[in-house]
Amino acid sequence: MFLQGIKIPTISIHKFLGVFLDQELCWKDLINYTLQKGAKWLMQYCRLSKPSRGVSAIYMRWFYITVAVPRLLYAADLFLIPESANGKVMKGYIAKLGKIQRQASLHIMGEMRSTPTDIIDACADLLPFHLLVSKVLHHMATRLATLPQMHPLGKHVSKVANRYVKRHRAPLHKITHAYGIWPANFKTINPVRFGPEWGLSFPVEIPESRVAAIEAAQVVQADVKVFSDGLGIDSNISAATMLYKNGEVKSTREHWVNICWTGFMSRW
């Protein structure tokens, strides 16, 4: 191939943004590169986790989760979809990558090599690798489904979600239909932005006591009044709002949040 008199060499594999693209788009070279990258990383990881002078297990675990997992599963939505047509092949690659996590778990806990994989993962507080892959792919599918239409992939994701073709399926077809996450099930909430000189168009008053609040409510002669209050006790936070119009309650809303462990539970 010549372009303006310059010969363009033909290659079978090209690396773009860390992803190896071949002529058949079978991702075999990308998978082999991921395995080599994981093995190379594991050798460096072993140097930090020596039982006598190495890093503690807590920090080695976080190092694996925050550094190793994103590197191993980079572009996993292209080649590690267990529910695809090549399910057996993908499960084999997942099992090979799972051996890297097993070695990392052994170094985190300092256990013997004969320890079963499920036990060492439980002791290291790590998900089994096939569940970790499913979790990462689920996050990727959710992120694709929540892309706005102005995004370059937004229209393509909506298109492949409406139809699952029989032949020549793209990775978008596989990951979208594997987890059943559709863009139509999500609601778009437009962000509210204000300038630095923005101010409230209505007065706000916060009395210091309940008696002062009652007196202030009797003085105000506005047609529309909104009262709100909040309370926090025993890891529970609640808030309530009431809308009055001409002295009658038109609408009420309450919100309760329970802060427990590391998550949040809310109820309207």
What tens digit of pLDDT does each residue of 1-18 get?
677 778 877 777 888 887
Q: Poorest-confidence range of 8-12, 80-84, 156-160, 220-224?
A: 80-84
Last residue of a domain, one of 164, 185, 206: 185
User: Same domain for 180 and 234?
Assistant: no
- Locate all alpha helices (DSSP H) within the chain, ordered by sequence: 28-48, 57-63, 69-72, 76-79, 87-109, 117-123, 129-145, 154-162, 171-179, 210-219
> Is pLDDT above 70 for 99?
yes
> Domain of 232?
217-267
> Is pLDDT above 60 for 266?
no
265 falls in which pLDDT band (50, 70, 90)? Answer: very low
Give ∠ CA 131-43-35 in degrees, rounded to 5: 50
The pLDDT of residue 160: 84
Cα gap 164→109, rounded to integer Å: 44
How many H-runs (helices) and E-runs (strands) does the chain carry? 10, 8
Structure letter (DSSP) for residue 191: P
pLDDT in tens, 125-142: 888 888 888 888 888 888
11 or 211: which leads in pLDDT? 211
The pLDDT of residue 260: 52
85 falls in which pLDDT band (50, 70, 90)? Answer: very low
pLDDT in tens, 63-76: 888 888 888 888 88
The pLDDT of residue 82: 61
> SS3 of 207, please?
coil
The pLDDT of residue 164: 80
Burial of 190 (0-12, 13-18, 19+ CB in 10 A): exposed
Last residue of a domain, one of 185, 209, 228: 185
Residue 103 lies in a domain: yes
> Is pLDDT above 50 for 263?
no
Residue 190 lies in a domain: no
The pLDDT of residue 7: 81
Q: CB–CB of 15/34 below 8 Å? A: no
Residue 193 lies in a domain: no
Residue 255 lies in a domain: yes
The pLDDT of residue 25: 75
- Looking at every residue in the chain, the average pLDDT score rounds to 79
> Is pLDDT above 80 for 250?
yes
Cα gap 113→107, rounded to integer Å: 10
67 or 52: which leads in pLDDT? 67
> Is pLDDT above 60 for 261?
no
Residue 37 lies in a domain: yes
The pLDDT of residue 103: 84
User: Same domain for 117 and 160?
Assistant: yes
Residue 6 lies in a domain: no
Residue 206 lies in a domain: no
**Number of structural domains in the chain:** 2
